[in-house]
A and B are shown apart, each in its own frame.
Chain A
Amino acid sequence: MAEALPDLGPNLDPRVFDSEAFQRDPFPVYKQLRDHHPVFHDRFHNRWILSRYWDVDAAFQDNGSFDRAMYKPDGPYDFGSRHVFGPNILEYGNSDEHRRLRNIVAGQFVGQKLNDFLPMIDRISQEVIERFIDDGEVEIVSQFSSQVPIRVISNMLGLPREDEDTFVGWYQDLIAGLGFGGEYLARGLKARNDMWDYIDPMIAERRTNPGEDLLSRICTAELAGGRMSVEEVKGFVALLLAAGGDTTDKAIANMWYHMMYTRPDQFADVRDEPALWENVFTEMMRYDPVVHAQFRYTTREVAMHGEVIPERAGVILYLGAGNRDERAFKDPDVFDIHRDDLHMGRENRSGRYKDGKNGHLGFGIGQHFCMGYAMARQESAIACTMLARGLKNVRPKFAEHDGIIAPSIDSGGFRAPRELWLEFDR
Protein backbone atom coordinates (compact mmCIF):
# COMPACT_ATOMS: atom_id res chain seq x y z
CA MET A 1 0.00 0.00 0.00
CA ALA A 2 1.50 3.37 0.77
CA GLU A 3 3.52 4.90 3.54
CA ALA A 4 3.24 8.63 4.14
CA LEU A 5 5.55 10.44 1.73
CA PRO A 6 8.60 12.13 3.21
CA ASP A 7 8.34 15.91 3.47
CA LEU A 8 11.24 17.29 1.46
CA GLY A 9 10.57 20.94 2.32
CA PRO A 10 10.79 23.80 -0.17
CA ASN A 11 14.39 23.42 -1.37
CA LEU A 12 14.40 21.77 -4.75
CA ASP A 13 17.60 21.17 -6.68
CA PRO A 14 16.52 20.59 -10.31
CA ARG A 15 19.32 18.09 -10.85
CA VAL A 16 17.11 15.67 -8.94
CA PHE A 17 15.07 15.23 -12.16
CA ASP A 18 18.03 13.45 -13.73
CA SER A 19 18.63 11.08 -10.85
CA GLU A 20 17.92 7.38 -10.82
CA ALA A 21 16.02 7.86 -7.55
CA PHE A 22 13.58 10.19 -9.31
CA GLN A 23 12.98 7.72 -12.18
CA ARG A 24 12.20 5.10 -9.58
CA ASP A 25 10.11 7.10 -7.14
CA PRO A 26 9.22 10.60 -8.34
CA PHE A 27 6.32 11.03 -5.93
CA PRO A 28 8.09 12.78 -3.03
CA VAL A 29 9.43 15.37 -5.49
CA TYR A 30 6.00 15.73 -7.09
CA LYS A 31 4.58 16.50 -3.66
CA GLN A 32 7.30 19.03 -3.03
CA LEU A 33 6.43 20.71 -6.33
CA ARG A 34 2.68 20.77 -5.60
CA ASP A 35 3.14 22.02 -2.04
CA HIS A 36 5.88 24.58 -2.49
CA HIS A 37 6.26 25.35 -6.21
CA PRO A 38 2.98 25.01 -8.11
CA VAL A 39 4.74 26.89 -10.90
CA PHE A 40 8.37 25.82 -10.84
CA HIS A 41 10.94 27.57 -12.98
CA ASP A 42 13.62 24.95 -13.58
CA ARG A 43 16.50 27.17 -14.68
CA PHE A 44 18.90 24.23 -14.87
CA HIS A 45 16.88 22.56 -17.65
CA ASN A 46 15.43 25.81 -18.91
CA ARG A 47 11.78 24.88 -18.49
CA TRP A 48 8.74 25.37 -16.31
CA ILE A 49 6.80 22.71 -14.44
CA LEU A 50 3.12 22.38 -13.49
CA SER A 51 2.12 19.64 -11.07
CA ARG A 52 -1.26 20.30 -9.45
CA TYR A 53 -4.30 18.48 -10.78
CA TRP A 54 -6.32 21.52 -11.77
CA ASP A 55 -3.34 23.35 -13.23
CA VAL A 56 -2.41 20.40 -15.44
CA ASP A 57 -6.07 20.10 -16.47
CA ALA A 58 -6.28 23.80 -17.26
CA ALA A 59 -3.11 23.76 -19.35
CA PHE A 60 -4.37 20.79 -21.38
CA GLN A 61 -7.63 22.66 -21.98
CA ASP A 62 -6.07 25.98 -22.89
CA ASN A 63 -5.21 25.70 -26.57
CA GLY A 64 -4.72 29.43 -26.81
CA SER A 65 -1.75 29.41 -24.43
CA PHE A 66 -0.18 25.94 -24.57
CA ASP A 67 0.74 24.26 -27.84
CA ARG A 68 2.31 20.87 -28.39
CA ALA A 69 4.36 21.96 -31.40
CA MET A 70 7.26 24.35 -31.05
CA TYR A 71 5.93 27.83 -31.56
CA LYS A 72 7.76 30.01 -34.04
CA PRO A 73 7.44 33.78 -34.22
CA ASP A 74 7.69 33.99 -38.02
CA GLY A 75 5.51 31.06 -38.98
CA PRO A 76 2.87 29.08 -37.23
CA TYR A 77 4.85 25.96 -36.38
CA ASP A 78 8.27 24.48 -36.44
CA PHE A 79 7.25 20.88 -36.95
CA GLY A 80 8.51 18.45 -34.35
CA SER A 81 11.10 15.90 -35.27
CA ARG A 82 9.85 13.38 -37.78
CA HIS A 83 12.98 11.29 -37.99
CA VAL A 84 11.47 8.30 -36.22
CA PHE A 85 7.85 8.15 -37.29
CA GLY A 86 7.71 10.18 -40.47
CA PRO A 87 4.86 12.64 -40.89
CA ASN A 88 2.41 12.02 -38.08
CA ILE A 89 -0.26 13.50 -35.90
CA LEU A 90 2.11 14.33 -33.05
CA GLU A 91 3.88 17.07 -34.93
CA TYR A 92 1.06 19.35 -35.95
CA GLY A 93 0.55 21.08 -32.65
CA ASN A 94 -2.88 22.53 -32.09
CA SER A 95 -3.42 23.31 -35.76
CA ASP A 96 -6.35 22.51 -38.06
CA GLU A 97 -4.04 20.03 -39.77
CA HIS A 98 -3.88 18.15 -36.49
CA ARG A 99 -7.66 18.00 -36.30
CA ARG A 100 -7.82 16.74 -39.88
CA LEU A 101 -5.33 13.92 -39.35
CA ARG A 102 -6.85 12.93 -36.04
CA ASN A 103 -10.40 12.80 -37.33
CA ILE A 104 -9.53 10.67 -40.32
CA VAL A 105 -8.46 7.83 -38.04
CA ALA A 106 -9.93 8.47 -34.58
CA GLY A 107 -13.24 6.77 -35.38
CA GLN A 108 -11.44 3.47 -36.02
CA PHE A 109 -10.60 2.97 -32.35
CA VAL A 110 -13.98 3.48 -30.70
CA GLY A 111 -17.55 2.20 -30.80
CA GLN A 112 -18.58 -0.58 -33.16
CA LYS A 113 -15.31 -0.50 -35.10
CA LEU A 114 -13.48 -1.28 -31.88
CA ASN A 115 -16.03 -3.91 -30.89
CA ASP A 116 -15.38 -5.71 -34.17
CA PHE A 117 -11.80 -6.31 -33.04
CA LEU A 118 -12.52 -7.54 -29.51
CA PRO A 119 -12.95 -11.27 -30.27
CA MET A 120 -9.57 -11.18 -31.98
CA ILE A 121 -7.97 -9.72 -28.82
CA ASP A 122 -9.41 -12.66 -26.88
CA ARG A 123 -7.99 -15.11 -29.37
CA ILE A 124 -4.52 -13.57 -29.47
CA SER A 125 -4.29 -13.45 -25.66
CA GLN A 126 -5.23 -17.11 -25.52
CA GLU A 127 -2.63 -18.07 -28.13
CA VAL A 128 0.12 -16.25 -26.28
CA ILE A 129 -0.87 -17.87 -22.96
CA GLU A 130 -0.77 -21.32 -24.52
CA ARG A 131 2.92 -20.89 -25.22
CA PHE A 132 3.81 -20.97 -21.51
CA ILE A 133 0.80 -22.56 -19.85
CA ASP A 134 2.69 -25.81 -19.19
CA ASP A 135 5.75 -24.13 -17.69
CA GLY A 136 4.49 -23.38 -14.19
CA GLU A 137 6.14 -19.95 -14.35
CA VAL A 138 6.23 -16.96 -16.66
CA GLU A 139 8.04 -13.64 -16.99
CA ILE A 140 5.12 -11.40 -17.86
CA VAL A 141 7.00 -8.56 -19.53
CA SER A 142 8.86 -10.55 -22.17
CA GLN A 143 6.41 -13.44 -22.57
CA PHE A 144 3.02 -11.79 -22.32
CA SER A 145 2.62 -8.02 -22.11
CA SER A 146 5.13 -7.25 -24.86
CA GLN A 147 3.52 -9.92 -27.05
CA VAL A 148 -0.21 -9.29 -26.98
CA PRO A 149 -0.71 -5.63 -28.03
CA ILE A 150 1.69 -5.82 -30.96
CA ARG A 151 0.09 -9.02 -32.26
CA VAL A 152 -3.28 -7.35 -31.88
CA ILE A 153 -2.12 -4.38 -33.97
CA SER A 154 -0.65 -6.69 -36.60
CA ASN A 155 -3.99 -8.47 -36.90
CA MET A 156 -5.97 -5.24 -36.86
CA LEU A 157 -3.88 -4.00 -39.75
CA GLY A 158 -4.65 -7.23 -41.53
CA LEU A 159 -1.03 -8.33 -42.00
CA PRO A 160 -0.60 -11.99 -42.96
CA ARG A 161 -0.30 -14.16 -39.87
CA GLU A 162 2.86 -15.82 -41.07
CA ASP A 163 4.57 -12.40 -40.92
CA GLU A 164 3.47 -11.70 -37.35
CA ASP A 165 6.72 -12.79 -35.69
CA THR A 166 8.72 -10.59 -38.08
CA PHE A 167 6.45 -7.70 -37.21
CA VAL A 168 6.98 -8.34 -33.48
CA GLY A 169 10.74 -8.24 -34.09
CA TRP A 170 10.53 -4.83 -35.81
CA TYR A 171 8.43 -3.60 -32.94
CA GLN A 172 10.94 -4.72 -30.32
CA ASP A 173 13.81 -3.06 -32.17
CA LEU A 174 11.91 0.18 -32.69
CA ILE A 175 10.84 0.37 -29.05
CA ALA A 176 14.33 -0.40 -27.78
CA GLY A 177 15.61 2.38 -30.05
CA LEU A 178 13.18 4.89 -28.60
CA GLY A 179 13.89 3.81 -25.03
CA PHE A 180 17.67 3.48 -25.02
CA GLY A 181 18.92 5.53 -27.98
CA GLY A 182 22.51 5.10 -29.22
CA GLU A 183 23.18 1.93 -31.20
CA TYR A 184 19.69 0.77 -30.30
CA LEU A 185 18.30 3.76 -32.14
CA ALA A 186 20.19 2.83 -35.31
CA ARG A 187 18.70 -0.65 -35.14
CA GLY A 188 15.28 0.80 -34.40
CA LEU A 189 15.41 3.01 -37.47
CA LYS A 190 16.49 0.09 -39.61
CA ALA A 191 13.56 -1.94 -38.30
CA ARG A 192 11.24 0.93 -39.14
CA ASN A 193 12.61 1.15 -42.67
CA ASP A 194 12.24 -2.60 -43.17
CA MET A 195 8.67 -2.35 -41.95
CA TRP A 196 7.97 0.56 -44.28
CA ASP A 197 9.38 -1.35 -47.26
CA TYR A 198 7.21 -4.28 -46.30
CA ILE A 199 4.06 -2.26 -45.92
CA ASP A 200 4.49 0.02 -48.95
CA PRO A 201 3.09 -2.37 -51.58
CA MET A 202 0.28 -3.32 -49.19
CA ILE A 203 -0.80 0.30 -48.96
CA ALA A 204 -0.91 0.57 -52.74
CA GLU A 205 -2.91 -2.64 -52.94
CA ARG A 206 -5.42 -1.74 -50.25
CA ARG A 207 -5.99 1.74 -51.54
CA THR A 208 -7.41 0.25 -54.72
CA ASN A 209 -8.76 -2.95 -53.25
CA PRO A 210 -9.72 -2.28 -49.64
CA GLY A 211 -10.90 -4.88 -47.14
CA GLU A 212 -12.30 -4.56 -43.64
CA ASP A 213 -8.90 -4.31 -41.92
CA LEU A 214 -7.51 -1.21 -40.22
CA LEU A 215 -4.87 -0.58 -42.88
CA SER A 216 -7.53 -0.48 -45.58
CA ARG A 217 -9.70 1.75 -43.45
CA ILE A 218 -6.86 4.18 -42.80
CA CYS A 219 -5.91 4.20 -46.47
CA THR A 220 -9.42 4.95 -47.64
CA ALA A 221 -10.92 6.96 -44.77
CA GLU A 222 -11.93 10.36 -46.04
CA LEU A 223 -12.62 13.58 -44.34
CA ALA A 224 -14.13 16.39 -46.34
CA GLY A 225 -12.87 14.68 -49.49
CA GLY A 226 -9.26 14.28 -48.27
CA ARG A 227 -7.36 11.07 -47.56
CA MET A 228 -4.06 10.42 -45.88
CA SER A 229 -1.06 10.39 -48.21
CA VAL A 230 1.02 7.20 -48.44
CA GLU A 231 3.69 8.84 -46.28
CA GLU A 232 1.09 9.78 -43.68
CA VAL A 233 -0.24 6.23 -43.58
CA LYS A 234 3.27 4.87 -43.05
CA GLY A 235 3.93 7.46 -40.35
CA PHE A 236 0.74 6.53 -38.61
CA VAL A 237 1.54 2.82 -38.62
CA ALA A 238 4.98 3.47 -37.10
CA LEU A 239 3.42 5.71 -34.48
CA LEU A 240 0.81 3.10 -33.72
CA LEU A 241 3.52 0.68 -32.63
CA ALA A 242 4.83 3.06 -29.98
CA ALA A 243 1.73 5.03 -29.00
CA GLY A 244 -0.66 2.10 -29.16
CA GLY A 245 1.55 -0.96 -28.70
CA ASP A 246 4.24 -0.10 -26.21
CA THR A 247 1.90 1.89 -23.95
CA THR A 248 -0.66 -0.91 -23.65
CA ASP A 249 2.17 -3.40 -23.20
CA LYS A 250 3.36 -1.40 -20.19
CA ALA A 251 -0.17 -0.88 -18.87
CA ILE A 252 -0.73 -4.65 -18.66
CA ALA A 253 2.58 -5.20 -16.87
CA ASN A 254 1.82 -2.40 -14.39
CA MET A 255 -1.64 -3.78 -13.64
CA TRP A 256 -0.15 -7.16 -12.78
CA TYR A 257 2.59 -5.58 -10.74
CA HIS A 258 0.02 -3.74 -8.59
CA MET A 259 -2.12 -6.82 -8.14
CA MET A 260 0.87 -8.97 -7.18
CA TYR A 261 2.81 -6.53 -5.00
CA THR A 262 0.89 -3.34 -4.18
CA ARG A 263 -2.56 -4.79 -3.38
CA PRO A 264 -2.51 -8.60 -3.32
CA ASP A 265 -5.57 -8.36 -1.05
CA GLN A 266 -7.51 -6.69 -3.86
CA PHE A 267 -6.35 -9.30 -6.36
CA ALA A 268 -8.71 -11.67 -4.54
CA ASP A 269 -11.59 -9.33 -5.42
CA VAL A 270 -10.52 -9.22 -9.05
CA ARG A 271 -10.33 -13.00 -9.28
CA ASP A 272 -13.91 -13.22 -8.05
CA GLU A 273 -15.12 -10.45 -10.30
CA PRO A 274 -13.04 -10.05 -13.48
CA ALA A 275 -15.01 -6.94 -14.48
CA LEU A 276 -12.89 -5.20 -11.82
CA TRP A 277 -9.86 -5.35 -14.14
CA GLU A 278 -11.25 -2.11 -15.57
CA ASN A 279 -10.94 -0.58 -12.11
CA VAL A 280 -7.39 -1.88 -11.88
CA PHE A 281 -6.70 -0.18 -15.20
CA THR A 282 -8.24 3.12 -14.09
CA GLU A 283 -6.53 3.21 -10.71
CA MET A 284 -3.18 2.27 -12.31
CA MET A 285 -3.65 5.18 -14.74
CA ARG A 286 -4.09 7.46 -11.75
CA TYR A 287 -1.66 6.07 -9.20
CA ASP A 288 1.35 5.54 -11.45
CA PRO A 289 0.38 5.89 -15.12
CA VAL A 290 2.46 4.66 -18.03
CA VAL A 291 3.18 8.23 -19.14
CA HIS A 292 3.91 10.82 -16.44
CA ALA A 293 4.84 13.90 -18.41
CA GLN A 294 3.73 15.81 -21.48
CA PHE A 295 5.50 18.79 -22.98
CA ARG A 296 3.96 22.04 -24.17
CA TYR A 297 5.17 25.44 -25.37
CA THR A 298 3.54 28.68 -24.37
CA THR A 299 2.24 30.79 -27.22
CA ARG A 300 1.72 33.77 -24.93
CA GLU A 301 2.53 34.91 -21.43
CA VAL A 302 0.75 32.90 -18.77
CA ALA A 303 0.26 34.20 -15.23
CA MET A 304 -0.40 31.61 -12.51
CA HIS A 305 0.10 31.43 -8.77
CA GLY A 306 1.91 34.77 -8.74
CA GLU A 307 4.45 33.71 -11.37
CA VAL A 308 4.60 34.67 -15.02
CA ILE A 309 5.61 32.04 -17.55
CA PRO A 310 6.95 33.92 -20.55
CA GLU A 311 5.89 33.38 -24.15
CA ARG A 312 7.69 30.55 -25.97
CA ALA A 313 8.71 28.76 -22.81
CA GLY A 314 8.85 24.98 -22.53
CA VAL A 315 6.45 23.64 -19.93
CA ILE A 316 6.26 20.16 -18.43
CA LEU A 317 2.82 18.98 -17.37
CA TYR A 318 3.26 16.28 -14.76
CA LEU A 319 0.15 14.14 -15.09
CA GLY A 320 1.76 11.72 -12.67
CA ALA A 321 1.90 14.49 -10.05
CA GLY A 322 -1.58 15.83 -10.72
CA ASN A 323 -2.97 12.35 -10.19
CA ARG A 324 -1.54 12.33 -6.65
CA ASP A 325 -2.90 15.76 -5.77
CA GLU A 326 -4.75 15.72 -2.46
CA ARG A 327 -6.79 18.60 -3.89
CA ALA A 328 -8.42 16.11 -6.28
CA PHE A 329 -8.26 12.72 -4.54
CA LYS A 330 -8.37 11.73 -0.89
CA ASP A 331 -5.49 9.59 0.35
CA PRO A 332 -3.92 9.98 -3.08
CA ASP A 333 -0.94 7.77 -2.25
CA VAL A 334 -3.10 4.72 -1.57
CA PHE A 335 -3.72 2.33 -4.47
CA ASP A 336 -7.36 1.29 -4.21
CA ILE A 337 -9.45 -0.23 -6.97
CA HIS A 338 -12.63 0.54 -5.02
CA ARG A 339 -11.95 4.25 -4.75
CA ASP A 340 -15.20 6.23 -4.69
CA ASP A 341 -13.71 9.56 -5.70
CA LEU A 342 -12.28 8.49 -9.08
CA HIS A 343 -14.35 8.15 -12.23
CA MET A 344 -13.87 4.45 -12.94
CA GLY A 345 -15.53 4.00 -16.31
CA ARG A 346 -14.43 5.07 -19.74
CA GLU A 347 -12.57 8.36 -19.99
CA ASN A 348 -13.79 11.57 -21.62
CA ARG A 349 -11.70 13.92 -23.66
CA SER A 350 -13.04 16.75 -21.52
CA GLY A 351 -12.01 15.16 -18.23
CA ARG A 352 -15.55 15.93 -16.98
CA TYR A 353 -18.06 13.29 -15.90
CA LYS A 354 -21.73 13.06 -15.12
CA ASP A 355 -21.01 11.28 -11.84
CA GLY A 356 -19.23 14.45 -10.73
CA LYS A 357 -16.02 12.56 -9.92
CA ASN A 358 -12.57 13.49 -11.10
CA GLY A 359 -10.89 11.40 -13.77
CA HIS A 360 -7.25 10.35 -13.97
CA LEU A 361 -4.98 12.45 -16.17
CA GLY A 362 -3.14 9.46 -17.64
CA PHE A 363 -4.45 9.94 -21.19
CA GLY A 364 -4.04 13.68 -21.19
CA ILE A 365 -7.08 15.87 -21.84
CA GLY A 366 -8.38 18.09 -24.62
CA GLN A 367 -7.24 18.39 -28.19
CA HIS A 368 -4.52 15.75 -27.88
CA PHE A 369 -6.35 13.40 -25.53
CA CYS A 370 -5.28 9.86 -26.26
CA MET A 371 -6.93 8.55 -29.39
CA GLY A 372 -6.64 4.96 -28.25
CA TYR A 373 -8.26 5.45 -24.84
CA ALA A 374 -11.11 3.01 -25.42
CA MET A 375 -8.93 0.43 -27.08
CA ALA A 376 -6.21 0.58 -24.41
CA ARG A 377 -8.77 0.04 -21.66
CA GLN A 378 -10.58 -2.84 -23.38
CA GLU A 379 -7.44 -4.54 -24.53
CA SER A 380 -5.75 -4.33 -21.13
CA ALA A 381 -8.84 -5.62 -19.36
CA ILE A 382 -9.29 -8.50 -21.79
CA ALA A 383 -5.63 -9.56 -21.73
CA CYS A 384 -5.51 -9.44 -17.91
CA THR A 385 -8.78 -11.32 -17.55
CA MET A 386 -7.61 -14.08 -19.89
CA LEU A 387 -4.29 -14.42 -18.09
CA ALA A 388 -5.89 -14.53 -14.64
CA ARG A 389 -8.33 -17.13 -15.87
CA GLY A 390 -5.63 -19.23 -17.54
CA LEU A 391 -3.09 -19.38 -14.71
CA LYS A 392 -4.18 -21.50 -11.77
CA ASN A 393 -3.32 -20.19 -8.31
CA VAL A 394 -1.07 -17.52 -9.82
CA ARG A 395 1.33 -15.78 -7.40
CA PRO A 396 4.57 -13.79 -7.49
CA LYS A 397 7.65 -15.97 -7.94
CA PHE A 398 9.79 -13.69 -5.75
CA ALA A 399 8.77 -12.09 -2.45
CA GLU A 400 10.58 -8.85 -3.27
CA HIS A 401 10.38 -6.70 -6.39
CA ASP A 402 12.41 -3.63 -7.28
CA GLY A 403 9.33 -1.79 -8.55
CA ILE A 404 8.29 0.30 -11.50
CA ILE A 405 10.76 2.53 -13.30
CA ALA A 406 10.99 4.73 -16.40
CA PRO A 407 14.01 5.31 -18.64
CA SER A 408 13.31 9.04 -18.47
CA ILE A 409 10.11 10.47 -17.06
CA ASP A 410 10.68 13.95 -18.42
CA SER A 411 11.11 12.90 -22.03
CA GLY A 412 7.91 10.90 -21.82
CA GLY A 413 9.59 7.57 -21.05
CA PHE A 414 7.05 4.83 -20.39
CA ARG A 415 6.97 3.40 -16.87
CA ALA A 416 6.86 -0.33 -16.17
CA PRO A 417 8.53 -3.09 -14.18
CA ARG A 418 11.63 -4.39 -15.96
CA GLU A 419 10.68 -7.97 -15.18
CA LEU A 420 7.76 -9.59 -13.44
CA TRP A 421 7.96 -13.29 -12.65
CA LEU A 422 4.85 -15.26 -11.76
CA GLU A 423 4.37 -18.85 -10.64
CA PHE A 424 1.28 -20.97 -11.09
CA ASP A 425 0.08 -24.53 -10.72
CA ARG A 426 0.56 -26.81 -13.69
Chain B
Amino acid sequence: MSKTVTVDRDKCYMSGECYYNHPELFRMDEDGYPVVLVGKIEDAALEQHAREAAEVCPAAAIRLS
Protein backbone atom coordinates (compact mmCIF):
# COMPACT_ATOMS: atom_id res chain seq x y z
CA MET B 1 0.00 0.00 0.00
CA SER B 2 1.47 3.32 -0.95
CA LYS B 3 1.34 6.24 1.46
CA THR B 4 1.21 9.99 1.09
CA VAL B 5 2.92 12.72 3.12
CA THR B 6 1.20 16.06 3.57
CA VAL B 7 2.36 19.23 5.30
CA ASP B 8 -0.04 21.66 6.94
CA ARG B 9 1.37 25.06 6.04
CA ASP B 10 -0.64 26.90 8.64
CA LYS B 11 0.92 24.89 11.42
CA CYS B 12 4.44 24.66 9.96
CA TYR B 13 6.78 27.36 11.25
CA MET B 14 9.79 26.42 9.13
CA SER B 15 11.83 24.80 11.86
CA GLY B 16 13.59 22.98 9.04
CA GLU B 17 13.79 19.69 10.94
CA CYS B 18 12.10 17.75 8.13
CA TYR B 19 14.22 18.89 5.22
CA TYR B 20 17.60 18.97 6.96
CA ASN B 21 17.09 15.50 8.43
CA HIS B 22 15.29 13.85 5.54
CA PRO B 23 16.57 15.36 2.32
CA GLU B 24 15.48 12.22 0.50
CA LEU B 25 11.87 13.21 1.15
CA PHE B 26 11.73 16.99 1.59
CA ARG B 27 13.40 20.10 0.31
CA MET B 28 13.05 23.72 1.35
CA ASP B 29 11.15 26.10 -0.92
CA GLU B 30 12.00 29.79 -1.38
CA ASP B 31 9.97 30.87 1.64
CA GLY B 32 11.27 28.19 3.99
CA TYR B 33 8.39 25.72 3.77
CA PRO B 34 9.03 22.06 3.01
CA VAL B 35 8.21 20.65 -0.40
CA VAL B 36 7.42 16.92 -0.43
CA LEU B 37 9.56 15.31 -3.11
CA VAL B 38 7.87 11.94 -3.40
CA GLY B 39 4.14 11.81 -4.12
CA LYS B 40 3.46 8.16 -3.45
CA ILE B 41 5.72 6.42 -0.98
CA GLU B 42 6.17 2.77 -1.88
CA ASP B 43 9.59 2.15 -0.43
CA ALA B 44 9.94 0.94 3.20
CA ALA B 45 13.04 3.03 3.96
CA LEU B 46 11.34 6.16 2.71
CA GLU B 47 8.31 5.36 4.77
CA GLN B 48 10.57 5.15 7.82
CA HIS B 49 11.91 8.63 7.00
CA ALA B 50 8.36 9.92 6.66
CA ARG B 51 7.35 8.43 9.98
CA GLU B 52 10.37 9.92 11.76
CA ALA B 53 9.75 13.33 10.22
CA ALA B 54 6.11 13.27 11.32
CA GLU B 55 7.11 12.26 14.84
CA VAL B 56 9.81 14.87 15.21
CA CYS B 57 8.09 17.86 13.57
CA PRO B 58 7.82 20.37 16.43
CA ALA B 59 4.63 21.83 14.96
CA ALA B 60 2.90 18.50 14.35
CA ALA B 61 2.40 19.69 10.79
CA ILE B 62 3.37 16.51 8.95
CA ARG B 63 0.90 13.72 8.25
CA LEU B 64 1.46 10.31 6.80
CA SER B 65 -1.61 8.58 5.50
A residues contacting B by CB (< 8 A) are: 61, 63, 99, 103, 107, 110-111, 224, 348-354, 366-367, 369
Report 27 cross-chain contacts, Cβ distance below 8 Å, ordered by A residue.
A61-B28, A99-B21, A103-B21, A107-B56, A110-B58, A224-B48, A348-B15, A348-B16, A348-B32, A349-B16, A349-B17, A350-B14, A350-B15, A350-B16, A350-B19, A350-B28, A350-B32, A352-B14, A352-B16, A352-B31, A353-B14, A353-B32, A354-B13, A354-B14, A366-B16, A367-B20, A369-B20
Report the minimal beta-carbon distance from A104 to chain B, rounded to whole angstroms.
Answer: 12
Name the one of A111, A348, A351, A366 contacting B13, with C-beta atoms under 8 angstroms: A348
B residues in contact with A224, CB < 8 Å: 48
The answer to whether A348 and B20 touch across the interface, beta carbons within 8 angstroms, is: no
The answer to whether A352 and B32 touch across the interface, beta carbons within 8 angstroms, is: yes
Report the minimal beta-carbon distance from B29 to chain A, rounded to whole angstroms.
Answer: 9
Docked CA distance A99–B16 (Å): 13
Beyond A103-B56, A224-B48, A350-B14, 20 additional pairs, beta carbon < 8 A: A63-B23, A103-B21, A110-B58, A348-B13, A348-B14, A348-B16, A349-B15, A349-B17, A350-B16, A350-B19, A351-B32, A352-B14, A352-B28, A352-B32, A353-B32, A354-B13, A354-B14, A366-B16, A367-B20, A369-B16
A residues in contact with B56, CB < 8 Å: 103, 107
Docked CA distance A61–B15 (Å): 14
B residues in contact with A348, CB < 8 Å: 13-16, 32
B residues in contact with A354, CB < 8 Å: 13-14
The answer to whether B58 and A111 touch across the interface, beta carbons within 8 angstroms, is: yes
B residues contacting A by CB (< 8 A) are: 13-17, 19-21, 23, 28, 31-32, 48, 56, 58
B residues in contact with A103, CB < 8 Å: 21, 56
Q: Which 10 A-B pairs have the closest CB atoms?
A: A352-B32, A349-B16, A350-B16, A352-B14, A350-B32, A350-B14, A367-B20, A348-B14, A348-B15, A354-B13
Docked CA distance A351–B15 (Å): 8
B residues in contact with A350, CB < 8 Å: 14-16, 19, 28, 32
Docked CA distance A144–B21 (Å): 37
Docked CA distance A107–B17 (Å): 11
Docked CA distance A361–B56 (Å): 24
A residues in contact with B21, CB < 8 Å: 99, 103
Residue among B13, B16, B19, B32 with most chain A CB within 10 A:
B16
Report the minimal beta-carbon distance from B26 to chain A, rounded to whole angstroms.
Answer: 11
B residues in contact with A351, CB < 8 Å: 32
Docked CA distance A224–B48 (Å): 10
Docked CA distance A206–B46 (Å): 34
B residues in contact with A352, CB < 8 Å: 14, 16, 28, 31-32
B residues in contact with A366, CB < 8 Å: 16, 20
Docked CA distance A154–B25 (Å): 38
Docked CA distance A352–B17 (Å): 13
Docked CA distance A189–B17 (Å): 35
Report the minimal beta-carbon distance from A23 to chain B, rounded to whole angstroms.
Answer: 32
Docked CA distance A353–B13 (Å): 7
Docked CA distance A63–B23 (Å): 10
Residue among B14, B20, B31 with most chain A CB within 10 A:
B20
Report the minimal beta-carbon distance from A353 to chain B, rounded to whole angstroms.
Answer: 7
| Closest B residue to A349 using CB positions | B16
Docked CA distance A369–B20 (Å): 10
| Closest B residue to A354 using CB positions | B13
B residues in contact with A111, CB < 8 Å: 58
A residues in contact with B19, CB < 8 Å: 350
Report the minimal beta-carbon distance from A27 to chain B, rounded to whole angstroms.
Answer: 28
B residues in contact with A99, CB < 8 Å: 21
Docked CA distance A387–B13 (Å): 33
A residues in contact with B28, CB < 8 Å: 61, 350, 352
| Closest A residue to B19 using CB positions | A350
A residues in contact with B15, CB < 8 Å: 348-350
Docked CA distance A371–B59 (Å): 18
